[in-house]
Every structure is written in C-alpha cells, then in structure tokens.
C-alpha cells in the first residue's frame, strides 16, 4: 500500500483555495450563489454538483473559497466578489463600461502593489532589485509606466515582475515593457482579467467553457 493511501485526510495536502481578498460587499443584483461545503451536493465520485442558475441555465464559473464554493454566470459576477463597487450585472452604456474598466484597473494596481510589498517583505531581493520592482508598481503618480529603457530585463528566479498589460498594448505603441520573468495583467476586459487573476494563482477558478451541464473542470488557479 502506498504512502499516499496510508495518509489520513488531515495529512493530505489541502486543496488550493482563493487567496485574493473579498470585497467588503457584493452587488445585490448578482445571481451569484455561494454554497458551504456541508451543503454542497456531490456525485458518486465526490465531485461537487454545480447548482443551476435562475432561469435553468448552468453556471459558467466556480470559485473555490475557504470551505465553500461560489458559482457565477459571468466574469463580471465573479469580479464583483473581489472589487468594491463593481457591478455584477452592468447595464448598457459607455459610461457604465468605462466605470467598470476603471474599477478593474484600480483593482489591478492594488494586486501589483500587494505583490511588490510581499516580495520586499520576503527579503530575497537586493536593494537595487527592490528599487526596480517598486518602480514597476508606480501607478497613479503621473509618471509613465516602467519601460525597457529603465529595466531592459527582469530575471529574478523567485519573483516575477507584474505589470498592467493594457498600458503596453501594441495599438498604443508608446511603451515597451521589460522582458524576462514578467507577467502582463490585462484589466481592460472582464473575462481576460479574471483569467489573469486565476493564472497568477490568486483565484482558484473552474470553468465550464461550453456552459452546459457537463462537470466543471478545474482549469485555472492551481499552484505549480
């Protein structure tokens, strides 16, 4: 019998959970459904059975929280769990969409600043590296984003540089980001931003791409 088989439930590695802080309140218009583990129905393989959204359609997303699952139909509904003041079901109109983009952008800056602060606290970076990484998180001060002129390449083996990708979009053609161990985050579109947060390991996300009754598949957010 293998060591894995002999392990008790408490000894096994815990399943990954979302580490991104939740918003202080959620949009009441959301059809989001949160189910505690003790209330979650499971199939014969002990996989959670996704509930059905109002109207009879299956939910597209499942977010794994601590001891509970959250189910949502759209990327906006998921993001509203994490972004204060964000609309889960935004109405039509350019003003509303611009406000959604603004809130995603502000949230993205917060994610990057938190990442830099944690990297500094971990103590593995040199003073010169700290200065460059802090510069990469310098948003909202009127300065242009960090470019390849200031930092041609970032190659720290442990700490990646996270940047707001929209500021380096080819259609603007103004700025070239550093290369190397650099992750671009794109808050301009809700679905892409959600996937970026999951790819960074901040959200544990399962997605049903076809939005059918097929089982949810864990495709994002697992730690490597």
Question: pLDDT means per 10 residues in the chain (224 residues)?
Answer: 46 75 84 90 85 85 93 94 94 92 96 97 95 94 91 96 94 87 96 96 87 52 44
Q: Give the Cα separation of 89 and 60 in Å (integer).
A: 15
Query: Does residue 84 belong to any structural domain of this protein?
Result: no
Q: Give the Cα separation of 173 and 179 in Å (integer).
A: 16
**This prediction's pTM:** 0.85
Query: Does residue 67 belong to any structural domain of this protein?
Result: no
**182 pairs with which residues across the strands?**
161
Query: Does residue 135 belong to any structural domain of this protein?
Result: yes
pLDDT of residue 22: 94
pLDDT of residue 1: 42
Q: Give the Cα separation of 172 and 95 in Å (integer).
A: 22
Which region holds residue 15: left if phi is over 0, alpha if psi is between -120 and 50, else beta? Answer: beta
At residue 169, the 3 state secondary structure works out as coil
**183 pairs with which residues across the strands?**
162
Q: How many domains does the chain have?
A: 1
Residue ranges making up the domain that contains 128: 94-190
Minimal CA–CA distance to 188: which of 168, 207, 205? 168
Query: Does residue 58 belong to any structural domain of this protein?
Result: no
pLDDT of residue 128: 96
pLDDT of residue 174: 83
End-to-end CA distance of the chain: 27
**48 pairs with which residues across the strands?**
42
Query: Does residue 13 belong to any structural domain of this protein?
Result: no
Supply 146's token pair.
Answer: 């960090």
């Amino acid at each position: 019998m293998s060591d894995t088989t002999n392990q008790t439930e408490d000894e096994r590695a815990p399943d990954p959970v979302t580490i991104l802080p939740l918003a202080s309140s959620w949009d009441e218009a959301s059809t989001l459904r949160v189910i505690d583990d003790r209330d979650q129905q499971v199939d014969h393989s002990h996989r959670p059975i996704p509930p059905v959204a109002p109207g009879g359609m299956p939910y597209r997303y499942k977010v794994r929280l601590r001891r509970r699952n959250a189910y949502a139909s759209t990327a906006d509904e998921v993001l509203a769990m994490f972004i204060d003041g964000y609309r889960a079901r935004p109405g039509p109109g350019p003003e509303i969409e611009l406000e959604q983009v603004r809130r995603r952008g502000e949230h993205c800056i917060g994610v990057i600043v938190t990442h830099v602060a944690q990297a500094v606290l971990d103590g593995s970076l040199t003073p010169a590296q700290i200065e460059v990484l802090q510069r990469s998180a310098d948003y909202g001060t009127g300065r242009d984003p960090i470019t390849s002129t200031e930092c041609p390449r970032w190659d720290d083996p442990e700490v990646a540089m996270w940047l707001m990708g929209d500021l380096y979009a080819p259609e603007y053609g103004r700025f070239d980001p550093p290369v190397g161990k650099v992750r671009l985050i794109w808050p301009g579109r809700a679905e892409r931003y959600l996937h970026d947060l999951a790819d960074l390991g901040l959200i544990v996300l399962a997605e049903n791409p076809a939005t059918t009754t097929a089982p949810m598949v864990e495709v994002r957010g697992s730690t490597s």
